[in-house]
Amino acid sequence: MNPEKLNTESYPSDKIARKFLVLAISYLLLGLLLGIIGGFQYILPPFLKDNVSFQKTRPLHVYLVLTWIFTAAQAGLYYYLPRIVNRPVYWLRGVWLHFFLQLSVSLVIIICFFLGYFGGREYLEFPPLIGAFILLGWVPFAINFFFTLKPNYKTAPVYIWSWSTGILFFFITLSESYLWLIGHFNNNVVRDVTVQWKALGSMVGSWNMLVYGTAMYVMEKISGDVKLFRSPLAFFFYFLGLTNLMFNWGHHTYIVPAAPWVKTVAYIISMTELLILGHIIWNWRKSLAAAKRNYHSIPYRLLSFGDVWIFLNLILAIAISVPAWNFYTHGTHITVAHAMGATIGINTMLLFASVFYMIQKENPDATENRKRMVGTGIIITNIALLVFWISLLGSGVAKIISKQNNEPFYTLMQKSQSWFKLFTYSGVIVFIGLFILIASVLLIIRARRRPT
């Protein structure tokens, strides 16, 4: 019997978990639309300039797609938690409270961006006060996580450690990212830049912990191998990941005058992170006794594509973390390729694996009926993403060469045009691929569940 097809239990929180899922998908859809507008503004600067200028589309796009990542992970957790402990979530009303806080905060942020109220910093450019409400929304989530699971960390699998760390560090890093509001920090440029990048770099680690934990849970369920994520090796890699979360932000601060050894340590640590997940997935694949049987499984396929992106991004991350190379790549589209390659290729693929795992458990027949559609969406997204990623690398290299030749900005822009066009057009195809996945999810959720 295929363990993925079992749907023997349902819990009161499943309904709200589905709502979180739809909310996550809505963030993604809206975020993608803004990404497309931003892309067209690259090649056609006057495009929608009066209503949504690039100064608005970029931060809104980034906010929405990052919120997709957090919310999709949260939707998964609300669905998985009761199944892990075989009891309902601790505080059901808290889940609803979280949902309404999250929805209201997002609406306020979107309105602020459209009205031109900024005031925040990179990735969190909305007015700083809103940050406090984001944090507030996470309180019921954290309560439900810890009180539902009541984890015994001596015996807990590594994904529970991963989730716990992700939640804890979200509180720490979001608070840290607002330290610039205090004079002691913003009066000193070096301290300010260092703390800011430390906070944001570690925040990336915090969402990675949530996403990787989710992917590991799904892997365990698909393979049925409960020993995999309880092994000493899995924990060794977890602690290496934790070191990364705490210290790998260093490579963001190469431009800040600091002692050379800091750069060396940051560099060495930066190298390990993607290797960790690559190793875990690789191991998992080897451990699948019935790999062929699972080949046609949608979550398996998405995890495998995530695996490919881990290796591609690993190569890029190694390159741009070399201090001498970082000097050239910093501030070019190579950094954007690194950010989007990781958030689309790795995070989004792994999260869709979790999304399809959830809805497949709920609606196995409807998922089976949409398999071909989903397969098409996965292929389109990944092929287009490769072109998209290469176009960003290409425009980054064009900028480096142009800078070396001391060419004026106008010449650089002219030379970059073909890369920008490739970026925008392939971005539209990435959108089409992801839209097919989004539409499939919504259609499967909507389909009436047949009795199992």
Q: Which residues bind ligand HEM (CB under 6 A)?
A: 28, 32, 35-36, 38-39, 58, 61-62, 65, 335-336, 339-340, 343-344, 348, 424, 427, 430-431
Closer of 13 and 326 to ligand HEM (Cβ) = 326
Q: At its nearest, how many Å lie between ligand HEM and the CB of residue 59?
A: 9
In whole angstroms, the minimum distance from the beta carbon of 335 to ligand HEM comes to 5
Nearer to ligand HEM, 221 or 338 (CB): 338
**Least distance from C-beta 403 to ligand HEM, angstroms?**
17
In the bound state with ligand HEM, the residue whose beta carbon lies nearer, of 284 and 388, is 388
Min separation Cβ 323 and ligand HEM, Å: 19
Is the distance from CB of 240 to CB of 276 less than 8 angstroms? yes
Nearer to ligand HEM by Cβ, of 58 and 285: the residue is 58
Contact 193, 256 (CB under 8 A): yes
Question: Is 37 or 149 the residue whose CB approaches ligand HEM more closely?
Answer: 37
In the complex, least distance from residue 325 CB atom to ligand HEM, rounded to whole angstroms: 17
CB of 319 closer than 8 Å to CB of 325? yes
> Per the structure block, which two tokens stand in for 388?
């998209």
Q: Where are the alpha helices (DSSP H) in 254-332?
A: 260-287, 291-294, 298-321, 323-329
Least distance between ligand HEM and beta carbon 61 (Å): 5
| Nearest-CB residue for ligand HEM | 427
**Residue 360 or 426 having the CB closest to ligand HEM:** 426
CB-side exposure of 257: number of CA atoms within 13 Å? 3
CB of 369 vs ligand HEM, minimal distance in Å: 25
Helix residue ranges, H only, 1-122: 14-43, 54-85, 92-115
What's the rounded Cα separation, in Å, for the pair 203 and 206? 5
Which residues face 121 on adjacent strands?
Answer: 124
CA distances for 431 relative to 31, 34, 217, 337, angstroms: 10, 11, 28, 16
Task: For ligand HEM, give the closer residue by CB, 98 or 333.
Answer: 333
The full DSSP string for 117-184 is ----BTTB-S-THHHHHHHHHHHHHHHHHHHHH---TTT--HHHHHHHHHHHHHHHHHHHTTGGGSHH
